[in-house]
Amino acid sequence: MAKSVKKTRKKSTRRATRAAPNKKITRATARPRAPAPKPFVIDFHAHIVVPEVLAFTYGNSMFAQAVAAPQQGGAPGALPEEMRVRMTDMALRLKEMDAMGVDMQVISPSILQQCTYFADADAALKVERLGNERVAEAVGQHPDRLVGLGSVPMQDAALAAQELERCVRDLDLKGVIISSNVNGAEIGEEKFRPFWAKAEEIGATIFIHPAGSPDPRMRRHRQLITLGQPLEEAFAMSSLLYEGVIDAFPGLKIVFAHGGGFLPFYTGRHDNDFRARPGTTRLKGDFSSYLPRFHYDTVLFNPDMLDFLATKVPVSHLMLASDYPFAEKRPVEYVRRAKTISRQDQDAILGANCARVLGISI
Ligand SMILES: [Zn+2]
C-alpha cells in the first residue's frame, strides 16, 4: 500500500519537473510560483457491508427496526438498494471517491446494520472473523486506495481483544469499529478492560460509532439518526472518562464518529459539576481537559461546528470524513468552508492527521 502511494507521489513530482522550464531560466521564472500541491485526502469514516454478515445481523439491527421500518414499531425495513450497492460494489466506490476528491478511504463495517452484539459470543466471533477477512481482502485488492478497520464481538471482552489482535497483526487492519454500548453496558465498564488494554498494547485505532439506541423515543421521526447517534457518543465519552479508562490507558487511540457527538459542544455542565463536588469522581481535572485525549471526525454538516470543535480540541485531532455512503457528499469542500481554521490546518485535516494516527505512509 505504502509503496503504491509513494509511486503515485513520485509520478506527480516527475510531472512537476517536466513542466518546469529547462532553458533560459530567468530570475522571474525561477521563482517558486506553482500552486501548493494538493494535499493527500483520506476519508476516515466510510462503510462497507459483507453480505453474509449482513444476512446474520440485519433483522436485529437498530437500522432495520427503527430507521428503515415502514412504520415505527413495524416489521424490519429493507436496507435501501442505493446504500447496499455503494457498500458492496468496489468499482462504484472507487469512482465515487474520485468524484469526491478522496484519495483513500478507511473502510469500516457499517455497524448500524452489521452489529453482532445480540448474538451468542462464539457465533458472533465466527461471523466477525469472516467479515474482517473480507475487509482485509478489499484492502488487499486496492492497497493504494483503501485501509481497513475490522469489528469484534464486544459481548465477550476477551474474545474481542483476541480478534482485535488478529485484525491488526494478521490481517493488517488498523484497528476496529465498536458501538457506544454493548447490550446496555457502557463501554467504560470494568469488564471491558481486557479489550482496552489490548488496544493500547498493540497501538490499534478504535473507532467509536453507535449501532443505534434502544430507547423507543428514538424511533420517532428518525431521531435514532439525528438525536440518538450523538447522544450515544456522549454516553460513550462520559463512560470512558468517569470509569477511568482514559487515565488507565493513556496511549489509547480513539476516534469518535460524528465530531464526538454532543459532548465537545456542551462540556460546561460537566466542568461545573467537577468543580462543585471536588473529589467525588475519578476525573483528574475538568471534563473538558480530557477532550484532547480523543480524535474526532468531521461529519458535522455545519462548518461553524467544525470551527467551534477546533477551539476545544487540537486541530491535529480532526480527520476528514464523509460517512460514505450515508452523509457528507462533499467532505473536502466542507472542511474548506471552515472560516477560522487556517489553510495549512485544513490541509492536515484532509489527510495528514489521519495518516499520522493510523500510521499510513503518504
Ligand atoms: Zn457511519
State the distance from the centre of ligand 1 to the C-alpha of 23, rounded, in angstroms.
53
Per-residue pLDDT, 321:
98
State the distance from the centre of ligand 1 to the C-alpha of 209, rounded, in angstroms.
7
186: β partners: 181
pLDDT band at residue 168 using 50, 70 and 90 as cut-offs: very high
Average pLDDT, stretch 58-77? 83
Name the residue with cell 476528491.
101
Quick one: DSSP state of residue 34?
Answer: S
Model confidence at 1: pLDDT above 80:
no
In this predicted structure, which of 69-73, 133-137, 210-214, 302-306 has the lowest mean pLDDT?
69-73
Per-residue pLDDT, 31:
64
Per-residue pLDDT, 279:
86
Q: In angstroms, what is the C-alpha Rg of the chain? A: 21
Model confidence at 97: pLDDT above 90:
yes
pLDDT band at residue 83 using 50, 70 and 90 as cut-offs: very high
How remote is the C-alpha of 86 from its chain's centroid?
Answer: 18
State the distance from the centre of ligand 1 to the C-alpha of 291, rounded, in angstroms.
21
Mean pLDDT, the chain, integer? 91
In this predicted structure, which of 13-22, 163-172, 314-323 has the lowest mean pLDDT?
13-22
- Which whole-number Å values give the CA distances from 163 to 20, 158, 188, in the listed order? 51, 9, 19
pLDDT band at residue 236 using 50, 70 and 90 as cut-offs: very high
Per-residue pLDDT, 354:
98
Average pLDDT, stretch 102-106? 98
**Percent of the chain beyond pLDDT 70?**
90
pLDDT band at residue 252 using 50, 70 and 90 as cut-offs: very high
State the distance from the centre of ligand 1 to the C-alpha of 87, rounded, in angstroms.
12
- Provide the Cα torsion 349, 351, 353, 354; round to 10°: 120
Is the Cα dihedral 326, 222, 124, 253 positive or negative? positive
State the distance from the centre of ligand 1 to the C-alpha of 323, rounded, in angstroms.
5
The residues whose Cβ lies within 5 A of ligand 1, an ion, are: 323
Cite the DSSP H helix spans in the chain: 2-19, 27-30, 51-57, 62, 81-86, 90-100, 111-114, 121-141, 157-169, 193-202, 223, 229-242, 245-248, 268-276, 303-312, 331-336, 343-347, 353-358
- Non-local CB neighbours of 103 within 8 Å, separated by 6+ positions: 40, 41, 42, 97, 145, 351
- Provide the Cα torsion 238, 242, 243, 246; round to 10°: 80
State the distance from the centre of ligand 1 to the C-alpha of 192, rounded, in angstroms.
23
State the distance from the centre of ligand 1 to the C-alpha of 152, rounded, in angstroms.
16
Model confidence at 21: pLDDT above 90:
no
Taking only the tens place, the pLDDT of each residue in 26-50 is 444 556 667 778 999 999 999 999 9
State the distance from the centre of ligand 1 to the C-alpha of 123, rounded, in angstroms.
24
Question: CA-CA distance, 186 to 188, in Å (whole number)?
Answer: 6
- Name the more confident of 34 and 223: 223
Q: Exposed/middle/buried for 151, CB within 10 Å: 0-12, 13-18, 19+?
A: buried
Residue 51 C-alpha cell reads as 453480505
Average pLDDT, stretch 288-308? 97
Model confidence at 88: pLDDT above 90:
yes
State the distance from the centre of ligand 1 to the C-alpha of 114, rounded, in angstroms.
11
Per-residue pLDDT, 34:
74
In this predicted structure, which of 59-73, 114-128, 253-267 has the lowest mean pLDDT?
59-73
Average pLDDT, stretch 306-328? 97
Q: Taking the CB of residue 206, how many other CB atoms lie within 10 A of it?
A: 22
Packing angle, helices 157-169 and 121-141, rounded to 10: 20
> pTM score, two decimals?
0.90
How remote is the C-alpha of 173 from its chain's centroid?
Answer: 14
**How does DSSP assign 238-289, residue by residue?**
HHHHHTTHHHH-TT-EEEESGGGTTGGG--HHHHHHHHHSTTSSS-SS-GGG
In this predicted structure, which of 28-37, 78-87, 132-141, 308-317 has the lowest mean pLDDT?
28-37
Per-residue pLDDT, 76:
83
State the distance from the centre of ligand 1 to the C-alpha of 208, rounded, in angstroms.
10
Model confidence at 174: pLDDT above 80:
yes
Per-residue pLDDT, 337:
97
Alpha carbons within 13 angstroms on the beta-carbon side of residue 14 total 6
State the distance from the centre of ligand 1 to the C-alpha of 45, rounded, in angstroms.
6
